[in-house]
Structure 1
Amino acid sequence: MGEDAQVAGAEQDLRRDVRDARRVVVKVGSSSLTTAAGGLDADRVDALVDVLARHLAPADAPDTGEGKEIVLVSSGAIAAGLAPLGLDRRPRDLARQQAAASVGQGLLVARYTASFARYGRRVGQVLLTTYDTSRRSHYRNAYRTLDQLLAMGAVPIVNENDTVATDEIRFGDNDRLAALVAHLVRAELLVLLSDVDGLYDGNPATPGTSLIEEVRRPEDLEGMEIGSAGKAGVGTGGMVTKVEAAGIAAAAGIPVVLTSASHAADALAGRPIGTYFHPTGRRSAGRLLWLAHASTPRGALVLDDGAVRAVVERRTSLLPAGLAGVEGEFSAGDPVELRDVSGHAVARGLVNFDAREIPRLIGRSTRELARELGPAYEREVVHRDDLVLLHR
């Protein structure tokens, strides 16, 4: 076999998991859907829907194994609301962003509804905040809703709930949301679409820079200069957030293709377009990925050295005996950081007690607490199933 044929065969094998992926999350950025002045570009929306519709499983038989189930994570709500509200650029303050999202979200979904209707497809709007997905019951409900929409042949249109999300409960950008949704729905592929055709080893506008065709591990990107938000000024992300999102998904065992919206058809067909991120890890328990990447700690628990070793090295639950202190105000069920005595965060977890209860638990055994305070106190402060280690 010649060298060219070997390369072609390797490329075909490389993207086979992309081509054969059944459940796919596609994320599209604001700059690919709107004008720089604000307002939806109907032609761009229709062009994207044309591609997605061609790859969808039959609406009347979504479980036949033909075609793909697609969840669309779409930015553009705030940008779509700028022009109708007389705003010439994306506002910086949260209140006006929420107002723009309130107007723009309806316009965005209406546009998708009309565009998919050309193919006889229904859409369903799903708005999420981090609160919806770090709590056990909310996480299950989000999964069931998305899974049922797909089972009924609808296309879920997912966005952050910008109209009510505060700084404390925001995902921060839809790239990260897309990576987490891919994990939530157990997707086999994440496609990130933007206005750039892939990841470059420098500024794409600078002569001599090259497209990075594949990323096998995070170390491949060390020392590389990665750009931020684009010139359009209607989005919040940029290549940095896309690479971070790709890393989150890849670490959860999901391959990622990063390319431009104009190459969406090639990306979904498995052709060697854009930048391909190899999976680098295995799928973790559902909520733990959200806990690590989407939750905002409401406080902190300080662990003594023995508890740090138990939690980090032996992967045990955190017991009251290992507590050395507490910081912040939080309620049972809230996410908190677990820190060593020097203040370094070693883990994050969902706490089983209110902050005001913690001081009387510090350094005491569960048996002792049960005798004095009752059987409800004979339990972990943070159970290992609700705990995720952070990179040290």
Structure 2
Amino acid sequence: MPQTKQILITVSGQDKPGITSKLVKTIIEGGGKLTNMGQAVTHGLLSLSLVFNKDGAQFEQDLILKNLLFEAKHLGLEMDYKYLDDNPPHMAPYVSWEKFILNCVSPKDIPTQFVHDVSSLLADHNININRIDNVTPVEFKSLEMSMSLPPNISLQELKKDLLKIGGSHRVDVAFLKDNIFRRNKRLIVFDMDSTLIQTEVIDEMAKAAGVEKEVKEITELAMNGKVDFDESLIKRVQKLKGLEVSKLQEILESLPFNQGVEEFVGTVKSLGYKLALISGGFSFFADALKEKLGLDYAFANSLEVQNKKLTGRLKGTIVNPEQKALLVNLLAQQEGISLEQVVAIGDGANDIPMLSTAGLGIAFHAKEVVKREAENHMSFGPMTSILYFLGIPGPVRESVQH
């Protein structure tokens, strides 16, 4: 039999310690040299592939294959082998194709139909899935699919179709470039109202001031992008004139966090992320939440107070959508990092520039106008589900928390 430059062996069976060691030792003893390998374990069943070629005068492929087959049988494994060309023609295009990761996260088990619909969509676009990992092995709630995209693919259309499939199955998806920045985020920026906390603070203030209906109408128009933010904020604050500061403290003490916020913040803080709150709300609340959660920065609007009552006016620069994006830029400079290393999380129209500025912008349980503009959504899971979008697997998260 003619000598071949590369041989691929694939072994499968019950996983246990020592399998890789024994097979690689057999290759070394036969004069072989590893050139590639891959391994996966699913429910305790191993699939291990080893590619090797000649690395010495004593290399005899028939003998080395015989010894590998014997060793595999001794280990209780099935083994198959194949002779490879140096450069398989069907693999050539993949080298220059851009790599992407599709993260899929579900509050419950990922539906089988979702997996079918996603894989069918990718197949229709001639996209080959290189790897699939269950990120939460004790459950079936998070999948990570690795793939390479042909150059003629419309990325925006593909993302749109993936989000549509995810929405129909209540599965959150993020389609991200698989580059050095994906797992190297350093700064996370949050909106406050309806993102970190469940409520819109200004509506609670309006309720306390007896002007709830008027203020809520302006708030909804602003958050859906139908009214200029600065103008709407000034009008709403004017309606709060005379509200006692003591009422603000009462509101603060009753603000509920969104599900998973404290767990998420604790995890990413433990991993060394810097955290900032940038809010179009008010510094009275933003500063308090900064202290309570242990954030590094907080920016919000300042209310003018006289005689322990609100005057109905603001002090200083208004934190509007443009200012939010500017602050993201300034924080990245302050931390000495690239914008690609910044994550922004928000829910309203005034968050869109901030989400667009950050390397990873996530619309969190957002209004429809925001979903249409944002690159990535988290619409069904708690904030802890965003950990998977950051490449932080469940077990790592749990070990940090405990």
TM-score by length of 1: 0.23
Q: Of Structure 1 and Structure 2, which has the larger fraction of its residues in strand?
A: 2
Of structures 1 and 2, the larger Rg is shown by 2
TM-score by length of 2: 0.23
